[in-house]
Amino acid sequence: MSRPVQVTVLGGGSWGTTVATLAAANTPTMLWARDPDVAAEIDEQHTNARYLEDRELHPELRGTADLAAAAAQADVLVVGVPSHGMRAVLREAAPHVRPWVPVLSLAKGLERDTRLRPTQVISEELEGHPVGLLAGPNLAREVLDGFAAATVIATPDDSVARALQPLFSSDRFRVYRNQDLLGSELGGVLKNVIAIASGMADGLGVGDNTRAMVLTRGLAEITRLGEAMGGQARTFAGLTGLGDLMATCMSKDSRNRRVGEELARDRTLEEVIADMNQVAEGVKTARAVIELAEEHGVTMPIACEVDAVVNEGRHPREAYRGLQREVAQSEIHEVA
């Protein structure tokens, strides 16, 4: 009889911890956290108060601050480290990861200097490993609270996705598959920028009609760039596109939406970030997204205004005035 699959999750933030507790219900699972206190709390008390308040984690989930030991035990490696710190963690873990172990990314950002997607960073640092993505409209606290949710395992090799599906599934957490890794990953990256714009709408009190316009035109921008980079259009209408965009733009738990809302209320970006104990990926991603759009000849007026707010100090009120100056063309065939 073969032994059960050992899952290792790198990253003790809210979503990494949630994915680890989902996996622990199905198979032995270890979570690596950089902070020894967080790791010990997960291992001994089965909570992660810093990120998830008093929510209980699966009692079989183990925690450790020993990266080498965690990586060495993995039959499946899940990387929940933010995009800006992912390469360094993988480089340290790489000597301890056994060959051919599948690796799933949870990150939704771009590496700033290279503009590489997280799965591309993983492929560079863990060469030869099957690489995929686990993503969707998944708010960690709601998942832990038992609300029904769905996610996607995206990987070019459908047989790998089929093997991984049961490790994270539950009666209330449905796991789908998608072979369009690039499109699935871009949806998660780009929606964070649009979520900042949605938060700005909330902070300015411009109304639901305006926010609906931002979401739908934001999805059009995401789809245009995604297709230009090689993603499939229908992917952006699915869980990792429209689904993730809706959850991030509407939820009060969304870090990126909160950034936009607070900026619209005249707080500085430095003040907003200082009050957050987790990364809002859209802030770090906005400029890289604009650079990718320019490289691929795609116009993204909403993303451009968000970039101006977070990187050039423009007030959200001026950003929305800028959007009002856009000339409407054909909804389906326009380029802007």
What are the residue numbers of the active site?
A: 191
**How far is C-alpha 79 from the chain's CA centre?**
11
Write down the residue that tokens 């809002």 correspond to: 280
Contacts of residue 323, defined as CB under 8 A and 6 or more positions apart, other chains included, come to 301, 302, 305
Rg of the chain in Å (alpha carbons):
19
* Distances in whole angstroms, Cα of residue 69 to Cα of each of 10, 195, 222: 11, 37, 39
Distance CA 168, CA 164 (A): 7
Per-residue tokens: 268: 């500085």
Q: CA neighbours within 13 Å on the CB side: how many for 311?
A: 16
Distance CA 209, CA 190 (A): 22
* Ordered strands of the 103-105 beta sheet: 62-64, 29-32, 7-10, 76-79, 103-105, 131-135, 149-154, 173-178
